[in-house]
Structure 1
Amino acid sequence: MFDLDATSWASVWATLALVIFIGIIIYFGAHKMIAKALDTRIAKIESDLAEADRLRVEAKALLEEYERKREDAEKEAEGIVLAAREEAFRLTAEAGASLDALIARRTKAVEDKIAQAESQALAEVRSRAADVAVDAARVLLEKQMGEKGDALVQKSINDVGARLN
């Protein structure tokens, strides 16, 4: 009938075994299990992609929020620096005004002390001049009384006596 060599018979038996194997796989529904496994794998990959997309959207929203917060923080920092500069200028102006007022008060106090010292010195000079004048008058009177003292006493006695009579 067929005159086949050993290699050809091996090919026939291998083909027949493959057809039987495929038949058994189809009979037991292995193709359905493979399709189900592939569908499950596809669903898992799709859910992973959806989760990755959701996470990407969340990350983008967080990034935008943090960028906005950073910008707000920078604006606030600029406001704080500006307020600090204004406060420093205001304090400098107040310090200058306070210093001017202090200098004016101290100058006034020194001028008052100088005027008081001048007044006191003038009073001391007048007092000393009065003392010198009194001493000079005393010396002069003593000198005059020594020379004319007896005559003046006699004249005063005569005047008192004349007025009493």
Structure 2
Amino acid sequence: MHHYEHFWLNPTFWVAVSFIIFVVLLGRTMWTKATEALDARAAKIRADLDEAARLRGEAEAMRRQAEADRAAAQSEATALIARAKAEAERLSAATAAEAEATAKRRERMALERIQAAEAGALAEVRQAAAAVAAAAAREVIAETLDAKQDAKLIDDAVADLPRALRAA
């Protein structure tokens, strides 16, 4: 074995020193890369957490908006139902009033027809009674009046004519 006077002259020493320098440089490089990778992973996790918080906020806002829309739709539906009920009641009342008016109109028309029929029947009865009375009067006059009484009635009627014309 070869013995060196100074340790720095020993090649084993320099191999050990270069190995230590290599390990330190390699460790430092590896450490830098590992910390960069961990920092990048932490930044990605932080970004994902921020994105998740943002998405949660958006989802919460959408939920609140959906609840507000549902409440608005519910109140609109309630108002629509109330308007429909009011319209149905109004139409029902209008239909009932129209039906009542139609019934009254038909009743009045029926009463007018009945009165017209009564008036026609009364006129026919009067006409028949007048015809019977005229025939009876003709027979009575023909049996009771003679030519002298007939001439006196005509003279009286002619004399009374100016007064009857003034009255008319």
TM, length-normalised to structure 2 = 0.72
Matched with 2:22 is 25
Q: Which runs of 5 or more structure 2 residues have no equivalent in the other structure?
A: 2-11, 160-168
Shift of 1:26: 4.5
1:118 alignment partner, one of 111, 114, 117: 114
Shift of 1:125: 1.7
Matched with 2:65 is 69
Shift of 1:32: 2.8
Matched with 1:143 is 139
Shift of 1:52: 0.8
1:89 alignment partner, one of 85, 89, 92: 85
* Residue type of the alignment partner of 1:147: E
Query: Identity over the aligned pairs, expressed in percent?
Result: 12
Matched with 1:38 is 34
Shift of 1:19: 4.0
* Residue type of the alignment partner of 1:94: R
1:129 aligns with 2:125: yes
Q: Distance in 2 between matches of 1:86 and 1:158?
A: 92
* Residue type of the alignment partner of 1:121: A
Query: What count of residue pairs does the alignment treat as equivalent?
Result: 147
TM, length-normalised to structure 1 = 0.73
Shift of 1:111: 2.1
In structure 2, relative to structure 1, the CA distance for the partners of 1:32 and 1:154 (3 Å cut) is: same
Report the secondary structure of 1:92's partner residue.
helix
Q: Provide the alpha-carbon RMSD of the alignment.
A: 3.0
Shift of 1:24: 5.7
Cα deviation per residue 1:50-100 (whole Å; 9 max; x = unaligned)?
Answer: 111111111110121121012112211221221122112212221221122
Q: Distance in 2 between matches of 1:130 and 1:48?
A: 118
Q: Which runs of 5 or more structure 1 residues have no equivalent in the other structure?
A: 2-14
